[in-house]
Structure 1
């Protein structure tokens, strides 16, 4: 009798555990990359490095969801950058460990709401519509937006004047309506100063078969604390941005195009090239990815940034070409080369070969 009751109790417990596992899940994922290359900034000397993150910054992440019933889910994600060559949190060694992303939210038929540090629509558009994605070494768009990577120059500039994700933010993503989606991101000023103001950005995308379009408009306000990891990484001026992005997959080739315009506030952009300050900047990029074999793809991208101040201007032009060879669904080898020419300086360049793995 007792044995039967114990069996029934055990079966009931297993059923409850199975139901709980079906309702919630946690996933470990990430991206690891290592390469070796030669790098020269436009105002520096050539160096040879064993480098992590040429094609995308390596990271590790945890994400999870819980089914709350009625189509409602709770979701979260925690992500940290990794320098595979040193084991450091390469982007923010002295800052938050979860510096790539940290948010919690709810999703359902209404869309998705996330609170915390979340990717900006500008960053999503920047990486989605160029063949080199989020590469801070070989993507002209990422280089111009964020001025990061091994060939970055102290004489170039971060035109977006903010990080790839906004901290202390609230983000809403709409459901998909016949291919149309939208994003609204808001970051309060979190300051009692009357001189500060809140920040917001809007993104609208359309996807239909081979065609993809995305537009972004944003106003950073005058606050820095709401946008960046810490005051040590602040970008001390407001800006407004309008960005237009498109791609079309013809099968034999996928074409990409981007154009963005930035306008800065009373504290103009930091000096760049031969200019003492910058009031406006524009960034554009044209690129292609061409599958040449079942496993190999050729990548090419040309982009330029133009910086303006009253009575003068400067430009930064970048051309990149690369080849990516898939060894499996999760592992590939790559090689890439880039050149850069900034007004008033000698050319910069970088060449690298490496391997990348997702899990």
Structure 2
């Protein structure tokens, strides 16, 4: 009985050791996370006479899921990885559209240190996209942010919100300032490489950024050569946070240029915020586009919010577009 008890205790101890999380054994961690955003509403694109009722995915944030992890290598150095996939939660389909890459949001591995910064290699979200979403009150809303819509869905800037075959360097923060250098390698079928630079500085209630990028390819596919820059700032007064953006997209292939402006605000009210933004595309040649969105985002908890948003979208020479949505987002 004593031998059996000793053997049983040893077996339990071994099983417990095997069941310990990676953080205890190898000073590493793996995290599963994601977001679901589903809404119901009505939309009418500019120039289209028909209104459509929809149940939509990702009107405020594109739904996604993923896994990420880090390992402490000692001496202040750590290894990291991230794999994140978009999804259409209204139908259960993967990706933002049928032909979307499975890990389209992010797919990279890298090294990080408090002294030299961070380097990630693979598919990375572009700093230009991060600047665009960070300095408007609607964030990364492809449905309602005038800034996101004007840069990424209106035929101005080329290239996706993430670059494949890329290397992204992020410096450590020095005096409130951070710099990023970004490059996507040229591969068969492309016009060449993509390049990007991002500078961000903040102090107290003020936050500022400047982003520049030159795009010649999307994945391994050649696209119109566009050189884009954007300057942005926010100031938080407490009772309201103001947002301002101004940028330019120069399409070297077509010879056209676009000035893009965004002005917005978020105002805390109760457990949520009133959101509003006006944006304009002013092309060198072609029709102006003016978009205005307003809504209220109410937080039931830190992870779950309800929103109601409406938008007016006007393009010179076309009948006005409009949309509204009532939805819920849950983060995990």
TM-score (norm 2): 0.92
* Partner residue, 1:206: 201
Q: Map 1:248-287; keep pairs closer than 5 Å.
A: 248-265=235-252, 267-268=253-254, 279-287=256-264
* Partner residue, 1:154: none
Contact 1:300–1:322 under 8 Å retained in 2: yes
Q: 1:7 Cα shift?
A: 5.7
* Partner residue, 1:353: 326
* Partner residue, 2:309: 336
* Partner residue, 1:21: 23
Q: 1:21 Cα shift?
A: 2.4
| Runs of 5+ consecutive residues of structure 2 not aligned to the other structure | none
In structure 2, the CA distance between the partners of 1:20 and 1:26, relative to structure 1 (3 Å rule), is closer
Q: 1:8 Cα shift?
A: 7.2
Q: Map 1:24-35; keep pairs closer than 5 Å.
A: 24-35=28-39
Give the distance between the partners of 2:168 and 2:238, measured in 1 at CA.
34
Q: C-alpha root-mean-square deviation of aligned residues, in Å?
A: 2.1
Contact 2:194–2:214 under 8 Å retained in 1: yes
In structure 2, the CA distance between the partners of 1:80 and 1:19, relative to structure 1 (3 Å rule), is closer
* Partner residue, 2:98: 93
Give the distance between the partners of 2:306 and 2:13, measured in 1 at CA.
49
Give the distance between the partners of 1:249 and 1:42, measured in 2 at CA.
33
| Runs of 5+ consecutive residues of structure 1 not aligned to the other structure | 148-156, 269-277
Q: Any idea what the Cα deviations from partners look like across 1:77-119, whole Å, max 9, x if unmatched? A: 1111111110012413224211111111111131111111111
Aligned residues: 326
Q: Any idea what the Cα deviations from partners look like across 1:38-82, whole Å, max 9, x if unmatched? A: 100012221000111111111111111111111111111111111
Q: Any idea what the Cα deviations from partners look like across 1:302-340, whole Å, max 9, x if unmatched? A: 00011113xxx4210000000011111111111000001
Which of 301, 309, 322 is the matching residue for 2:277? 301
Give the distance between the partners of 1:192 and 1:159, measured in 2 at CA.
22
Q: 1:243 Cα shift?
A: 0.7
Which of 51, 57, 60 is the matching residue for 1:52? 57
* Partner residue, 1:67: 72
Say whether 1:139 aligns with 2:145: yes
Contact 2:290–2:315 under 8 Å retained in 1: yes
Q: 1:10 Cα shift?
A: 6.9
TM-score (norm 1): 0.85
Contact 1:92–1:99 under 8 Å retained in 2: no
Q: Map 1:83-122; keep pairs closer than 5 Å.
A: 83-109=88-114, 110-122=116-128
